[in-house]
Amino acid sequence: MLVNSNQKHAELIKTEAKRLGFLSCGISKAEFLEEEAPRLESWLNKNMNGEMGYMQNHFDKRLDPTKLVDDAKSVVSLLLNYYPHEEQANNTFKISKYAYGHDYHHVIKSKLKELQEFISEEIGEVGGRAFVDSAPVLDKAWAAKSGLGWIGKHSNLLTQQVGSFYFIAELIIDLELEYDAPVTDHCGTCTACIDACPTEAIVDPYIVDGSKCISYFTIELKNEIPTSVKGQFDDWIFGCDVCQDVCPWNRFSKPHKEPLFNPHPELLEMSKQDWKEITEDVFRKVFQKSAVKRTKFSGLKRNISFLD
């Protein structure tokens, strides 16, 4: 009977996740991530987090969900597609596709809240927390453990059916469920992402030196961008999609169905000259609800000037 209820509850949650627009949903047991612990420690010891000091905080919590949610039993991992219907022109300054529309934190948080309410209504009093890239949770590791894909050589989660252009979120809850099994790695001998990285940030298969990544320089770095990487940014001014764009699995990407992820009409029309002349008013109008706000107007101007 217990096994049946675990299975039934897992199916209920997955069905509702699909109804809410999530691409897929996988469930894993909330336990210490033994395999990830030495990898994370080694990555931090080599200072691959650069100036992202927050990555060194809460080491134990990153690896153990029971330290984030009392009596945690299950990690429900969810994927939400953001692959756009239209992309920016080829001859302009580029921003990462995930930032085209509304800030994903807000979009996903409201969906997770609905899912939590559904669980309480249908299953009963279930304690837990929702996470969207805003707490010490190893999203990709949990998604892989939940069978939603494998972590590719570019360190992003990959699936055979839809590639990698999606957000990952979690519900960590104190309800025991039926758990999914991980899938196998399908990168094979391909090194497209490693070969294409403009700053050679993928230092080994499956290891990305965050302090060399264009996304780090254009979003996380608060100081001046070092001149040693000048001429290597390939017109990226916020984030970078190169390793995903060249991945063969992303030929299966399909446009999202979330209206809030559609870009501001002016964004797709902006030329390099428009970017260079962008005013704070235009920045506020075009990126009012976008993740691009993270770099602030001054940060975006810095990134644009660096490419001149």
Catalytic site positions: 133
Q: Which of 162, 166, 164 is nearest to 254 (CA)?
A: 162
User: How far is residue 202's CA from residue 179's CA, in Å, rounded to a whole number?
Assistant: 32
How far is it, in rounded angstroms, from Cα 165 to Cα 155? 13
Burial 238-260 (b: 16+ CB within 10 A, else e): bbbbbbbebbebbeebeebebee
Angle at 53 between CA 79 and CA 231, to 5 degrees: 80
Supply 135's token pair: 């707490």
Look at the chain and count its residues.
308
Gap between the terminal Cα atoms of the chain = 66
Contact 140, 187 (CB under 8 A): no
Dist CA 48 CA 212 (whole Å): 8
- DSSP class of residue 225? P
User: What are the backbone dihedrals phi and psi of residue 65, each rounded to the nearest 5 degrees, phi first?
Assistant: -65, -20
Please, which residues bridge with residue 25 across strands? 78
| Triad 266, 272, 278: Cα angle to 5° | 60
